[in-house]
């Protein structure tokens, strides 16, 4: 997946205000600033409308969850707005690092996975939206009037997650190709060349800077994505369980599946992709540390290998959610435990 794919996605993301329109222009024009602000205000206005229309029912049922959902909702969109206004230098640096590290990629990279993924994302969103409208409008005639803003924001959020996934996939591909190159090279040679170790150090450092650039650009949105996915999942679960009699068995089962597809699965895929990058780096580190057992190294080479191992340890890649916590597979386990405990509590309250 080349950097040209990201430039194509920039054009799509610009329409929804999740990416800058152009990084070659040093300043944003007042007209574009107004456009980005309107993109931020539209979902915010939808949320306020939803609060007013549901103040007599939905808020009374889930006051705390509803408040947290609103905070995550607005916070997520506000970070996207700031990302376009203030982080243009970070965007330039991040894209430049992707181009610099592209030298370790194969000469021919397929773009089909990107286009297939983008088409599949839109297809799933369209199908789930049709199912939601079919199920809820039968059980709740005013559903579309009260929740129309959710459809816009759900796609807005899904598109941003897809952008995050595309960039992580590009970083992951670079780590995978670096590991393959190391296995091929050291499988063919019988000596440890110090210049090769220096090139590896430079590549690892460049990839770490790329990951740090991702954290700078997407750290806050990752935090709000995880929080918003969890809170939305909990809130809609409580809403569905309270009205399962109105929805029927088919509606009850389908709404739970739709919740998983729309809220939990995209976030889970994003977190899993980040964890895959960390595992690839650990594999590279493990392989490089085992080099001294594969070759008969001189004292100088052993000393350089120790320095090389320390360098790899200090330059390990790590994804963070706005520096609050590291993003890895254990985050999914924590989200799952919270969701299961909430389900148990809601079911017990419903029985009583």
- Whether residue 294 contacts residue 187, with contact meaning beta carbons closer than 8 Å, is answered with no
Q: Where do runs of H (alpha helix) occur along the chain? A: 3-15, 30-53, 58-61, 63-86, 88-100, 112-139, 143-188, 194-242, 244-259, 265-289, 291-294, 299-314, 329-351
d(CA 167, CA 87): 16
Residue 27's pLDDT band, with cuts at 50, 70 and 90, is low
Q: How far apart are the two ends of the chain, measured CA to CA in Å? A: 54
If you write DSSP's letter for every residue of 263-288 in order, what string do you get?
IIHHHHHHHHHHHHHHHHHHHHHHHH
Cα–Cα–Cα angle for 259, 62, 340, rounded to 5 degrees: 50
pLDDT for the residue 75: 76
pLDDT of residue 245 exceeding 70, the answer is no
Most confident of 63-67, 94-98, 140-144, 166-170: 166-170
pLDDT of residue 59 exceeding 50, the answer is no
* % of the chain exceeding 90 in pLDDT: 1
* % of the chain exceeding 70 in pLDDT: 64
Residue 238's pLDDT band, with cuts at 50, 70 and 90, is low
Between 26 and 85, the higher pLDDT residue: 85
- Whether residue 4 contacts residue 110, with contact meaning beta carbons closer than 8 Å, is answered with no
d(CA 207, CA 201): 10
Write out the residue range of the structural domain in which residue 336 sits: 3-351
pLDDT average, residue stretch 55-75: 62
Paired tokens of 160: 């941003």
Residue 322 to residues 30, 216, 221, 347, Cα–Cα distance (Å): 29, 8, 8, 34
Cβ-Cβ contacts under 8 Å for 284 (sequence gap 6 or more): 175, 178, 179, 182, 204, 312
- How many domains does the chain contain in total? 1
Residue 132's pLDDT band, with cuts at 50, 70 and 90, is confident
pLDDT of residue 237 exceeding 70, the answer is no
Most confident of 9-13, 293-297, 304-308, 327-331: 327-331
Paired tokens of 106: 């194969």
State residue 105 phi and psi, 5-degree precision. Answer: -85, 160
pLDDT of residue 55 exceeding 60, the answer is no
d(CA 138, CA 293): 68
- For 261-280, how does the pLDDT look when each residue is reduced to its tens digit (9 = 90+)? 676 788 888 888 899 999 98
Paired tokens of 185: 């090279």
Paired tokens of 229: 């996915």
pLDDT of residue 151 exceeding 70, the answer is yes
Compute the CA torsion angle 122, 126, 131, 132 (nearest 10 deg).
Answer: 90
- For 175-234, how does the pLDDT look when each residue is reduced to its tens digit (9 = 90+)? 888 888 888 777 776 666 777 778 888 888 888 888 988 888 888 888 888 887 777 777
d(CA 156, CA 43): 9
- Whether residue 33 contacts residue 102, with contact meaning beta carbons closer than 8 Å, is answered with no
- Whether residue 178 contacts residue 284, with contact meaning beta carbons closer than 8 Å, is answered with yes
Residue 64's pLDDT band, with cuts at 50, 70 and 90, is low
pLDDT of residue 56 exceeding 50, the answer is no
């Amino acid at each position: 997946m080349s950097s040209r794919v990201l430039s194509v996605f920039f054009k799509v993301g610009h329409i929804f205000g999740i990416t800058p329109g152009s990084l070659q222009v040093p300043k944003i024009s007042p007209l574009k600033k107004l456009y980005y602000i309107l993109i931020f205000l539209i979902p915010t206005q939808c949320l306020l409308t939803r609060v007013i229309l549901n103040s007599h029912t939905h808020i009374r049922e889930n006051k705390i969850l509803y408040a947290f959902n609103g905070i995550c909702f607005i916070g997520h969109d506000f970070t996207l707005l700031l990302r376009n206004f203030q982080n243009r230098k970070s965007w330039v640096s991040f894209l430049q690092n992707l181009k610099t590290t592209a030298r370790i990629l194969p000469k021919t990279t397929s773009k089909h996975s990107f286009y297939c993924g983008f088409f599949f994302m839109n297809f799933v969103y369209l199908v789930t939206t049709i199912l939601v409208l079919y199920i809820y409008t039968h059980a709740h005639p005013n559903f579309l009037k009260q929740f129309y803003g959710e459809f816009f924001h759900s796609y807005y959020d899904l598109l941003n997650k897809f952008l995050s996934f595309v960039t992580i996939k590009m970083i992951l591909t670079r780590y995978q190709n670096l590991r393959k190159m190391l296995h091929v090279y050291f499988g063919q040679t019988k000596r440890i060349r110090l210049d090769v170790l220096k090139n590896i150090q430079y590549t690892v450092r460049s990839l770490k800077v790329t990951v740090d650039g991702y954290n700078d650009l997407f750290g806050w949105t990752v935090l709000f994505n995880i929080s918003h996915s969890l809170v939305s999942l909990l809130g809609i679960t409580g809403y569905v369980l309270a009205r399962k009699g109105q929805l029927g068995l088919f509606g009850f089962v389908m709404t739970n599946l739709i919740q998983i597809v729309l809220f939990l699965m995209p976030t889970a895929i994003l977190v899993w992709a980040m964890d895959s990058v960390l595992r690839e780096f650990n594999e590279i580190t493990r392989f490089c540390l085992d080099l001294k057992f594969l070759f008969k190294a001189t004292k100088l080479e052993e000393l350089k290998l120790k320095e090389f191992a320390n360098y790899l340890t200090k330059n390990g890649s790590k994804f963070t959610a706005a520096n609050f916590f590291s993003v890895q597979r254990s985050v999914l386990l924590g989200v799952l435990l919270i969701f299961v405990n909430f389900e148990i509590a809601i079911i017990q309250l419903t029985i009583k």
